[in-house]
Chain A
């Protein structure tokens, strides 16, 4: 995973509350087999008119947001479906930071697996950022080490983040690799508790022929 330390970039403001992951990557694109190429699909139904023509009414299509890499939005962002495609879309579109008062729980987790930093700020702070983001070319600098969001107009907000999450993002850690360092403990746990998938009536259960019984 890419580490995340600092980032500075243009802010794109999406003034909508409770944006769900169905909006971020609609279901038809959840049939793909890869993790790549979801940037073009992000906010698909909002972003495009028929024939993938950009919808001029959709905030992110404003020319001033071209090249934006910090997404500013409202509470409960990316709630709903667990689809990690939503984060893959955010990242591939070019966003490295998402700022909102709160996030959907699964999306928040998924961000950390993909090197995207979700920044939760107080409602009033987010309101202030929305006001400032009305200025064309508004930029924010985000420093994960210091846990700050700042602009060149003297604004500086601190944000909270769990220390363990922070470290894994700063170092771009391979979480699976880390967990596998505890393989002995996992084995010991399995011996002690023996979680078995009992199947008392295999004849009555219809598995695909290829699967072992």
Chain B
């Protein structure tokens, strides 16, 4: 057999049925669902008189619309309440495990999967959410699907899939202090573009990726979809195994050793061929800040807002001009001179414990700028929240003037009360700066947790390489 990539190995291990010229029927090991994209799938299933084939491989959580404060109070948003009730009812009727908003393990679906060890190397994982690519950090083939496909997986535990092309993204060199995993992935998207990964599954490799913690790798894989890729993945290694050992859904003892032996076999064979290869040096990177309305509109913090006329392609020129108008920015404005209204530290990209530790180190003993209207820290899960509180991070944040909230998607998407008001500008650790994403008319700049923390203190972006911060993930 010719040498295989990680993607090809996982693909081959999951083919249930294939015919020449037809897409394959692929087995799905873990199906994650949430309140937002599942109700119509359950309705369709019921209408067709079909059952959930493997409730034991399906995991449900409430995350997108959950309130991040006063969760004990009744939900006033009727549409959200009906969605929560529908999810609870559907899980009850079909025997699917549910982490509801009062569970100690509740959190953003892509945070709790890895945290509970539901996510493991070599699996196929799907979820009706595009940031399912996060789980690829474990050497897992994980991607987002639509609601019709959610229904398909519920009914069959399989998906009809076309094989993707492979793109190797090799990142070499030591990250400078103040340059995080978030900056690495923003730089990759800036380089290949928001459609640069279209039709491909990305595999991240190289010394820089190997040196990242699991949390940093998740940040990178999370934003694969922002490069238009179907999925992103990192081959599992000792860092992966150490992270997983002892987590609730991970095999124990002898079974763990058996699993690790299998996981070790997943890395690409020497000489494996990729359809494309992209290379990047991490030692040349600076902290990144987006200036526009998609994640590819990004530059490093020492830069300035570009002039739309500097784009050669007329379509890009028009898009940049539109973005600047929406963002309320003038060409040539230095990024460090852009004043902020709010700061949001959270989302499935950057709300894990290491993110909060790194941000807390920046803010410790300091105060949020008076000019800021709000600085929000929303842990990705209740387990992260409890751990942070054990370490006293909540006190560090609140003493500096941040609000400390309960776990959920929050101002990443603004489906609950945490909405960015029109015309206001936010430094956000999330993954999408689309028009209206955080709130209609809201202006989002994507940054790392330490950049967000520093920006909260100063009221604008800063070159955090000059600060003596521990450049954790």
Contact = CB atoms under 8 A, between A and B. Distances in A.
B69 interface: no
A87 B146 contact: yes
Interface string B124-161: 00001110000000000000111111011001111010
B195 A186 contact: no
Nearest to A200: B252
B365 interface: no
A33 B40 contact: yes
A176 B48 CA distance: 10
A202 B104 CA distance: 13
Contacts of A105: 198-199, 228-230
A40 to B, nearest CB: 15
B248 A206 contact: no
Interface string A71-85: 000111001111110
B204 interface: no
B436 A45 contact: yes
Contact of B194 (A27, A76, A189, A199): A76
Given A45-B435, A185-B16, A207-B99, A179 B152 contact: yes
B162 interface: yes
Contacts of A34: 40, 43
A131 interface: no
Contact of A175 (B92, B152, B225): B152
A82 B103 CA distance: 26
A163 B100 CA distance: 42
B91 A204 contact: no
Given A105-B228, A113-B148, A210-B92, A27 B413 contact: yes
B331 interface: no
A23 B436 contact: yes
Contacts of A204: 248
B148 A182 contact: no
A27 to B, nearest CB: 5
B146 A82 contact: yes
A195 B29 contact: yes
A153 interface: no
A69 interface: no
Contacts of B105: 205-207
A176 B52 CA distance: 12
B437 interface: yes
Interface stretch (A13-21, A58-66, A133-141, A144-152): A13-21
B114 interface: no
B27 A186 contact: yes
Contacts of A208: 88, 91, 98-100, 102-103
A18 B151 contact: no
A205 B195 CA distance: 39
A80 B105 CA distance: 27
A85 to B, nearest CB: 8
Given A30-B36, A193-B27, A208-B98, A84 B144 contact: no
A198 B48 CA distance: 30
A75 B36 CA distance: 27
A53 interface: no
B414 interface: yes
B440 interface: yes
B442 to A, nearest CB: 11
Contacts of A20: 294, 432, 434
Given A80-B434, A205-B248, A176 B50 contact: yes
A83 B146 CA distance: 6
Given A35-B40, A102-B195, A208-B98, A180 B156 contact: yes
B440 A26 contact: yes
Given A27-B413, A106-B130, A76 B198 contact: yes
Contact of A114 (B57, B148, B414): B148
B118 interface: yes
A197 B32 CA distance: 12
A204 B437 CA distance: 36
B94 to A, nearest CB: 10
Given A76-B198, A102-B195, A84 B249 contact: no
Contacts of A45: 435-436, 440
A30 B34 CA distance: 12
Contacts of A16: 318-319, 322
Contacts of B228: 76, 79, 104-105
Contacts of B399: none
Interface in A142-171: 162-164
Interface stretch (B75-83, B209-217, B274-282): B75-83
B96 interface: yes
B37 interface: yes
Given A22-B437, A162-B162, A189-B16, A197 B118 contact: yes
B341 to A, nearest CB: 19
A110 B145 CA distance: 8
Interface in B193-244: 194-195, 198-199, 225, 228-230
12 contacts: A20-B294, A20-B432, A27-B413, A31-B65, A105-B198, A106-B144, A197-B118, A202-B248, A207-B103, A208-B99, A210-B91, A211-B92
Given A106-B145, A208-B103, 4 more contacts: A16-B322, A22-B434, A82-B129, A211-B92
Task: Give the top 5 A-B pairs by smallest Cβ distance, nearest first.
Answer: A113-B148, A84-B146, A110-B146, A206-B104, A31-B79
